[in-house]
């Protein structure tokens, strides 16, 4: 029997099996079990409740604030340092139109496909080439974060303009506009309601873009998943994790959380990740389980 006839015979003897066989298991669908942050954020009920809760609080706050024409934006004036000990000041509103400012990634939209690629093909690390392609071609593949689309609609209905200030690159402005639009978040227009890295010379430092936005609008609410979405001072590399945490929770701008500044949960990635060490997380308390433990 030749090889050809052997194969033909094999095929002829198992046509039903071939036709009815389930698709081969894709190992990627099982996924590694080591990314609790991703699991919680992108798929858990708790994660979706947390984002909806944050957006509900933001809209309630902003709509109420809009009725009283606040005198100041929630954007810090140049030189104001929320990680220092001096009081901070905010950009005056004047008669500027009302706006709310949002980070985009893991604030307005979730970037699940590139994260999935990182997990399976880059040891879970960020891959700049994958991200570049995602910025250009990801429209229609990035879902709006739960609660975000409803919040954008509610803000617009209340006369508050949503503005995105993101570190996606200005070179891919069309991709950013299309991605936000396809997610159901409405229109964000580069240079008007969409501000990108490369719009000024400060790269990933959003302070300059925030100043530009505050010169045009009275910003009554801001949201992001990282502290740099509120002030670049929180990104000071000299701050330890403990100092950064203390500045954010007890510093001169800390009263703004929930009252103008709104943090979206992101246990998947962020600047906190590289600063924290084992003892920062688990401490050094000497307690060990003894009572009732064999
Ligand atoms: Mg973000």
pLDDT in tens, 189-213: 999 999 999 999 999 999 999 999 9
How many Å lie between the centroid of ligand 1 and the Cα of residue 103? 6
pLDDT at position 9 is 36
How many Å lie between the centroid of ligand 1 and the Cα of residue 210? 15
- Mean per-residue pLDDT for 172-188? 98
Q: Does domain 45-197+204-266 have CATH number 3.30.70.360?
A: no
Q: Which helix (H) or strand (E) holds 265?
A: none
CB-CB contact of 195 with 211 (8 Å): no
- Mean per-residue pLDDT for 15-43? 62
pLDDT at position 293 is 83
How many Å lie between the centroid of ligand 1 and the Cα of residue 144? 13
How many Å lie between the centroid of ligand 1 and the Cα of residue 19? 46
Closest CA to 105 of 166, 147, 184: 166
Rounded Cα distance, 105 and 225, in Å: 8
How many Å lie between the centroid of ligand 1 and the Cα of residue 129? 18
How many Å lie between the centroid of ligand 1 and the Cα of residue 107? 6
Rounded to whole angstroms, the maximal C-alpha distance in the chain is 91
How many Å lie between the centroid of ligand 1 and the Cα of residue 57? 19
How many Å lie between the centroid of ligand 1 and the Cα of residue 167? 8
pLDDT at position 31 is 52
pLDDT at position 12 is 37
How many Å lie between the centroid of ligand 1 and the Cα of residue 38? 14
How many Å lie between the centroid of ligand 1 and the Cα of residue 225? 5
Say yes or no to pLDDT of 174 above 70.
yes
How many Å lie between the centroid of ligand 1 and the Cα of residue 262? 12
How many Å lie between the centroid of ligand 1 and the Cα of residue 269? 9
How many Å lie between the centroid of ligand 1 and the Cα of residue 293? 43
Confidence class for position 23, pLDDT limits 50, 70, 90: very low
pLDDT at position 34 is 62
Task: Give the length of the chain.
Answer: 294
Cα 48 to Cα 52, 112, 122, 144, 198, distances in angstroms? 6, 14, 27, 11, 32
Rounded Cα distance, 280 and 219, in Å: 35
- Mean per-residue pLDDT for 263-290? 93
Choose between 30 and 279: higher pLDDT: 279
Q: Which helix (H) or strand (E) holds 188?
A: none
How many Å lie between the centroid of ligand 1 and the Cα of residue 8? 56
DSSP conformational letter for 166: E
- Give the relative orientation of helices 148-157 and 45-66 as an angle to the nearest 10 degrees: 10
Owner of token pair 């046509």? 15
- Mean per-residue pLDDT for 147-159? 98
Give pLDDT tens digits for 30-49: 555 568 999 999 999 999 99
Quickly list H helices, the chain.
Answer: 3-13, 15-20, 27-30, 36-43, 45-66, 112-121, 128-137, 148-157, 173-182, 207-216, 241-250, 272-275, 278-282
How many Å lie between the centroid of ligand 1 and the Cα of residue 227? 9
CB-CB contact of 183 with 155 (8 Å): no
Global confidence as pTM: 0.88
pLDDT at position 204 is 96
Say yes or no to pLDDT of 59 above 50.
yes
- Mean per-residue pLDDT for 44-64? 98
Give pLDDT tens digits for 94-137: 999 999 999 999 999 999 999 999 999 998 899 999 999 999 99
Say yes or no to pLDDT of 25 above 50.
no
Domain regions of the chain by residue span: 45-197+204-266
Say yes or no to pLDDT of 225 above 70.
yes
């Amino acid at each position: 029997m030749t090889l050809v006839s052997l194969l033909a015979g094999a095929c002829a003897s198992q046509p039903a099996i071939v036709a009815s066989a389930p698709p081969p298991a894709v190992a990627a669908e099982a996924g590694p079990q080591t990314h609790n942050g991703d699991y919680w954020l992108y798929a858990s009920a708790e994660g979706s409740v947390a984002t909806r809760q944050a957006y509900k609080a933001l809209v309630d706050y902003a709509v109420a604030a809009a009725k009283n024409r606040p005198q100041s934006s929630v954007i810090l004036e140049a030189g104001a340092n929320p990680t220092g000990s001096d009081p901070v000041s905010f950009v005056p509103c004047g008669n500027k139109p009302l706006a709310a400012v949002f980070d985009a990634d893991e604030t307005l939209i979730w970037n699940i496909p590139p994260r999935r690629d990182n997990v399976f093909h880059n040891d879970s690390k960020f891959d700049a080439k994958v991200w570049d392609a995602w910025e250009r071609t990801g429209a229609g593949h990035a879902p709006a974060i739960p609660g975000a689309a409803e919040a954008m609609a509610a803000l617009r209905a209340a006369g508050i303009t949503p503005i995105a200030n993101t570190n996606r690159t200005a070179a891919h402005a069309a991709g950013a506009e299309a991605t936000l639009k396809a997610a159901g978040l409405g229109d964000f227009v580069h240079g008007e309601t969409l501000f990108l890295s490369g719009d000024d010379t400060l790269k990933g430092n959003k302070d300059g873009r925030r100043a530009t936005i505050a010169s045009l609008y009275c910003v009554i609410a801001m949201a992001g998943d990282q502290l740099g979405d509120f002030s670049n001072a929180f990104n000071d590399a000299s701050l330890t994790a403990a100092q950064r945490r203390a500045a954010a929770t007890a510093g001169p701008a800390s009263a703004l959380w929930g009252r103008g500044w709104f943090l979206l949960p992101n246990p998947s990635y962020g600047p906190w990740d590289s600063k924290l060490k084992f003892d920062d997380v688990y401490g050094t308390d000497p307690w060990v389980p003894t009572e009732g433990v064999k």
